[in-house]
Structure 1
Amino acid sequence: MVTVLDTIARPRPRHPEKAHRPDQEVMRKPDWIRVKAPTSRGYAETREIVRSNKLVTVCEEAGCPNIGECWDKKHATFMIMGEICTRACSFCNVATGKPHALDRSEPESVGRAVAQMGLTHVVITSVDRDDLDDGGAEHFAETIRAIRRAAPGTTIEILTPDFLRKEGALEVVVAAKPDVFNHNLETVPSNYLTVRPGARYFHSVRLLQRVKELDPSIFTKSGIMVGLGEERNEVLQLMDDLRSADVDFITIGQYLQPSKKHHPVKAFVTPDEFRSYETVAYSKGFLVVAASPLTRSSHHAGEDFARLRAARDAQLARRA
């Protein structure tokens, strides 16, 4: 069967750190994570809107397996600040190298596309831009403001880099008041050296905690991949770390190896194991949990935002 990953995979320039990695065997995917190639009219219409506004989506750049389903519903995650990342994480399919200058018209283009698509909820993410003094924080803020102008009824979720060593950057983004602030831990701390070498686990946890300190009304969210060699008890400890930072929402999905040059899949986690993680996460106090083989940070984001608001309202009602 032709899968969505087969149809959108394409050669891209790679950072030397990725290009020179030894080939890793790509494990055959189990039946429960196979998805059909996108062919619907809605998918084609979304692609045309993205192309006509000269926008980049993480759906394509990261080879997301849910692109057919999401684009059919006119859901897309826009990736701002270009398509070249300054980091070379071993799990990621986004091109790495020296980025181009920021496109100052991009925030307005994103706002226009959001209005054209009639989105009730939009997700904005970006590549890492360690080359910028503020890590791209002001560009995030400008994009949020542009969407508010073009589509004032749309709720906004952002998925940000860690702004490592970018003092004051987080405050700029939070002041623009996104509805959801997402920053992914990606994996357990023992894997950071090989999977996410440019990041620092506890800095990322602290970033999420700081969002709540600056504006408690903003929902916070984080996600991880499993199948990278982590132990179950490490995942449970990560949940505790996120709850200690008052994070509202956790996503857990299966890691899929983009190519032989990327980190290998160590295991395919079964649907039953994902259901177990979901049960434990709810018991630890998360308002919303999404855990399944095909779960991704932005998958069903609009529906999940409605669940977040309902869960918070119910929590407040119980405390009253």
Structure 2
Amino acid sequence: MHAMSSGERRDLSRTIDTVTGGTRLRRLRQTDWVRRLVRESDVTASDLIWPIFVREGAGDPEAVASMPGVFRYSVADCVEAARRARDLEIPVVALFPFTGTERRDETGSEALNPDNLVCRATRAIKDAVPEIGILCDVALDPYTSHGHDGLVKDGRILNDETIELLCRQALVQARAGCDIIGPSDMMDGRVACIRAALDGEGLRDTMIMSYAAKYASAFYGPFRDAVGSTGALKGDKRTYQMDMGNTDEALREAAQDIHEGADMIMVKPGLPYLDILARLVDEFRMPTFAYQTSGEYAVIMAAAQNGWIDGDRAMFETMRSFKRAGASGILSYFSPRIAESLQRR
């Protein structure tokens, strides 16, 4: 192949300018500063919610084997994590308990204990770091011996009977100082009942972020390790979590939760359901969050540790995909790592 002459190059350039109308999109990509100047969406620390696992006892944090870099913290260490979040300008931490078998039963009664792990951690954080927001999960699966989010009878998950307990759980958490209640159970009608229960107790300022579109997914496995539910779960959750083939149903779920009083909605998992996230944002124009699940985190970390991908770049790429799809914010186990990287920049 012969090299082009200067005349041939000029002719080619004129041809390109003719077909593109003179537009050269690469002009806006040629340096870092111009790429940053025209970037349509980006991630800041204010977009992040940091999920934290809390455990009984004292001592050093316990590593979660299936989630490299993630730990179970004592209540005291949760306070330190909240201070770290504040210093990194992360606005909210989400608390999830590691519950041993001795505190699990058929009805998840520990969820109603005003002195349970989540409540103690909430009070401790609010006493020490009151400016940090706290999101608490409302569901029975961290506390049930069968690992399901609700009450079970003859192999069937009971909807209305479960909601009664979820309302009591939400009240226990709100009284402890929780700012945002996050119903993740997927029972029909639970948002309305929780809102009524909170309002009835004078807790009108307590917000609700509903897990509006929570799919039955393979990406929850490491989370179940982290909260001690892996061996407990009997069967699966497909009778109450959403079917992965459905999109219109997600709109109906979100519309119902919004009508019932949700202040914010969530899509979970995140990356495999960006289409759902974008549809909900376009349809409802309200604060909509993505949960980058434990499995999504573990996949990136495992590949990075094996040298197959650049972990930091993959981390930020996924964050920007959520923002590009319209997410108001992201729950991610990468949150402190992202925020630290942003501060260094």
Normalising by the residue count of structure 2, what TM-score does the alignment of the two structures yield?
0.44
Structure richer in helix, relative to its length: 2
Larger Rg computed on CA atoms: 2
